[in-house]
Amino acid sequence: MVVVNISRKIAYCFNLFFQIIVVDYMIPNLDPRALKSMMDKLGMKSKEIEASKVVIEGVDNDIVIENPQVLLIQMQGEEIWQITGKHHEQEKGKAGVEISDEDINFVSEQSGVSDRDLVKKVIESCNGDLAEAIMKLKSSTQ
């Protein structure tokens, strides 16, 4: 029963915090020090996290949020992450493996395959694992 009471307290504090934020947008003259004081009384701390990308890995698809605004709210031993920004879904395994020309040249030399497009496709299919790509290309040419 203690867990339920703590969860209710956390939910109450979280709702109160966001009501304060909404009031802050609606009433722009709200004193930031007063808001900070209220948060301190509730045992809440917030911290903005600088991030360039957030990836949420799902079972079938990944959700990628570019240029997000990330806010970490800590209260009563719990952490709440608030992430806002434009997002898009991406198929699993297509998480943007970057393949450089050096990688293509290395795999091409090691495998003896000169077709750069084929080498790049094999590296992509191996999710950027160069050793696996070399082994696949060597076994397919023999």
pLDDT at 2: 36
What is the average pLDDT across 103-109? Answer: 91
- Percent of the chain surpassing pLDDT 90: 9
pLDDT at 98 over 60: yes
Let me know if residue 24 belongs to a domain. yes
CA distance 132 to 110: 12
CATH number at residue 29: 2.20.70.30
What is the average pLDDT across 66-75? Answer: 87
For 118-130, what is each residue's pLDDT tens digit? 998 898 888 888 8
Let me know if residue 48 belongs to a domain. yes
For 27-66, what is each residue's pLDDT tens digit? 566 677 777 777 778 788 888 889 888 888 888 888 888 8
pTM more than 0.75: no
Residues 28 and 56 in one domain: yes
pLDDT at 105: 92
Where in the sequence is the domain holding 73, given as residue range(s)? 2-91
If 0-12 CB within 10 Å is exposed, 13-18 middle and 19+ buried, where does residue 119 land? Answer: buried
